[in-house]
Each structure stands twice: as structure tokens, then as C-alpha cells.
Chains A and B, each alone.
Chain A
Amino acid sequence: MVNEATIWKLFENIFDPEVPVLSILDLGIVREVHVKSKQEVEVVITPTYSGCPAMDVIGMSIRMALLQEGFTQVQVKQVLSPAWTTDWMSESGKQKLKAYGIAPPNHKQLVCTPDAFQEEEAVQCPHCGSYHTQLVSRFGSTACKALYQCNDCQEPFDYFKCH
């Protein structure tokens, strides 16, 4: 019988379709795995953002992978609480993001409040390593990213924003 440890291991090879260097474990969205019998398994995941279109694809990838392992009843359950936070992203995930050219999230900070024109935390340029960077827009190419530009190498880059 396929045990839970094997399934967690399997998830190292299921990737976020929008940031394909990150596995769903790196993202920290898999919350629980319950093997109920030889045929039946339940996986609990939590979305990064309410409207994240990747969640449906990820749910399907999980289902396919587990069907291939011989399970016939696969339930992928979505829970919203506790709400996902970038603090659940793995350290290796953060390194992979940086190598991919996306600045990894800083630790969750006090600036996650609704007050206007707050001092932004310093975000390191993933290209040249400079902290001399500026926010272009808090909203980027996907829900989880903000748009930055480096003042030293001038390159624009995505920042996986703290959430």
C-alpha cells in the first residue's frame, strides 16, 4: 500500500503551472494527506489567492498523480483557513525562485496593512543582488507578484510579494 510519506515525496514533482520551478510543497499549499484505504485518499490544499487560476490545474495534477499510484477514489479538498502565507514557502523554494529571476518573498512584515504610501521593505534584485530597487506596481503578472525595477542594473523584475 502506498503510504503518506510516499505521497508527500510524489508531490515534489508536481509544479505550480504559473511558476514552474516551484513544487506544490515549495509553495506550502499542501496541508494534509490522509490515506484512508488501498483505494481511497484525501488531500487537503489551500489556495494562495482566492482567484488563483492555478489551483484548478494543481488539483487536477494531484488527482492524476494519485490515480497513477493505484488509488481509485481521490478527494482533493480546498480549505481557506488558516489562510496561506508566503511564510509557508520552503527555503529551497525561495532559492529556486531567485535562480529563476523572481525575487523571493521577504518575511511577513508590518507593512501588510491598508495604510497608504508605506515605506516598502528593501527587495533584493535577483539579477545583480542590489538592494537599491524600487516598487513599480504592487500588482504584477500574477496575483502573487509585484513589479519592481533595479536602480543599479536597471532590469525590471517580479517580486513574489509577502502575503
Chain B
Amino acid sequence: MHDPLFHYCLFLADSALILGHRNSEWCGHGPVLEQDIALTNIALDLIGQARNLYQYAASIQGGDATEDTLAYLRDERAYKNCLLVELPNGHWGQTVLRQFFFSTYQYYLFQQLINSTDVQLAAIAEKSLKEVTYHVRWSSEWVIRLGDGTEESKQKMEEAVDNLWSYTGELFVPAAYETPGFGVDLNVVQMQWQQKVAAILDEATLALSQQGWMQKGGKEGTHTEHLGYILAEMQSLQRTYPGARW
């Protein structure tokens, strides 16, 4: 399959699915019940967005491809999610900060993608954007509360910024399959993302990271050691009992 659209859909879908999976690890472990429910709701939205994208990708691929074969039967090298989403959750503050970084990226990306000449991508973006709006609000509020909170919470958020920062650059470096653009100017997304992140971190009394060097590779299928463990858990049922259905 050489169609860039197919790979672009997989990149968007994989990123949403893997973050949805990471967030679901918090289910039953959140610091308070309401926020446990909030994060699992966000996980559900992300997995729903991934489904819409996988269904579209499957229709492009044709044959026996379905959303399930794409999610459950591709191996690590075929996954195109950005590295940011596969990192371990860390503490609550780090999970929240990662959500803020990713949701803010999705928000500005989808704002442009709704005008894509590809009608189905535009429709998925239009649907997702409404959900992502809630995610940006929720995550930015928590970044502010924790950053501008107690001495301990502030220190933990500073660590989280340091831990995650070098994984944010990849979002704005186009992979080969992103060159058609699909109606998105990634430079504009980057500028808007940087402005929003600077404003929220400022309100959270957190300093922007000075790290300049950025990790990359996830979008092209080169992952950290963490993705293999996620896929092993997520795909084990379909790998063990091929074709199993509810």
C-alpha cells in the first residue's frame, strides 16, 4: 500500500489509539473518582476517533482489511504513532501534561483538517474537534492547577516538562506520507501549538524547556522499547485466538 492517505490515516489512528490505551491504564487508579472518570472518558473519545480513522483506512486498503485487522494484526514497525503517546504514564501530572501537549496538537491540526479536500478526513476532523475541545480545556486546567499548586506539585510538573519536551518536536516534522498535506500547514499548527503551550505553562508558573534536541522516528515506525509491550498486551487475544469475536 503506497497511498500516502492510507498511511496518514494510520498515523492519526495509531496515535489516538495508543494514547487511549495509555489513558485506560489509569482506569480504577485515578487520584480521585471524578478525574479517573474524566481520563477514561477521554480514552473512550480517542479510541472512537481511532476507530473512525481505521475504518476509513480499511476502506482505502480494500480486500479483507477491517478496523480490527489494522489495530490488532500490525506489528510494531508498522505502527506510526508519535513517540509521545507511547511513553509510560509516569505520575498523574505527567499524564495530564502529555494529554495537554497532544490534545493541543490535535486541536490545531483538526481545525485545518476540517477544510481538507478529502471529504472523509474532513468529516472525522469535524467530529473529533468537538471532543478535543473538551480535552484541551480539561488538561490545561489541570496543568495550571498542578503547576501553580503546592511546592511538590510544581516540582513534579517541572520534571514532567523535562521528561516529555524532547518528544514534542516530532509532531511538527512531516513524515514522507504527510507531504501531500491534506489541507494542513504543519508550520501553522506548530506556531499555534507553541503559543498555546507557552501561555498555559506561563499561567501554570512553569518555565518552558530549554532543550533543543528532539526525538523522532515514531511516525516512520521506529519506536521506543515501550510500544512493543503495549501491543503485546493489546493484541494478545487476536494473536492467540485469530479471528476471535464477541
Name A residues whose Cβ lies closer than 8 Å to a Cβ of B: 47, 49-53, 79-83, 112-118, 136-141, 143, 147, 163
Q: In the complex where A81-B126, A137-B35 touch, is A143 in contact with B44 (Cβ < 8 A)?
A: yes
Q: Tell whether, in the assembled complex, residue B133 and residue A112 are in contact, meaning their CB atoms are under 8 Å apart.
A: yes
Q: Tell whether, in the assembled complex, residue A137 and residue B52 are in contact, meaning their CB atoms are under 8 Å apart.
A: no
A50 partner, pick from B37, B38, B128, B203, beta carbons under 8 A: B128
Q: Tell whether, in the assembled complex, residue B44 and residue A51 are in contact, meaning their CB atoms are under 8 Å apart.
A: yes
Q: Tell whether, in the assembled complex, residue A114 and residue B38 are in contact, meaning their CB atoms are under 8 Å apart.
A: no
Encode B26-44 as 1/0 by CB contact (under 8 A) with A: 0000000011011001101
Q: Tell whether, in the assembled complex, residue B49 and residue A51 are in contact, meaning their CB atoms are under 8 Å apart.
A: yes
Residues from chain B with a CB closer than 8 A to the CB of A52 are 48
Interface residue total, chain B, C-beta cutoff 8 A: 36
Closest A residue to B48 by beta carbon equals A51
A51 partner, pick from B51, B120, B134, B138, beta carbons under 8 A: B51
How far apart are A38's CB and chain B's nearest CB, in angstroms?
Answer: 29
B131 partner, pick from A49, A82, A113, beta carbons under 8 A: A49
How far apart are A56's CB and chain B's nearest CB, in angstroms?
Answer: 10
Q: Tell whether, in the assembled complex, residue B41 and residue A139 are in contact, meaning their CB atoms are under 8 Å apart.
A: yes
Q: How far is the CA of A47 from the CA of B126 in the complex (A)?
A: 12
Within 8 A of A (CB), among B1-58: 34-35, 37-38, 41-42, 44-49, 51-52
Q: Tell whether, in the assembled complex, residue A82 and residue B126 are in contact, meaning their CB atoms are under 8 Å apart.
A: yes
Q: A80-B123, A114-B137 provided; 6 other pairs, C-beta below 8 A?
A: A50-B48, A50-B131, A51-B44, A81-B122, A115-B137, A143-B41
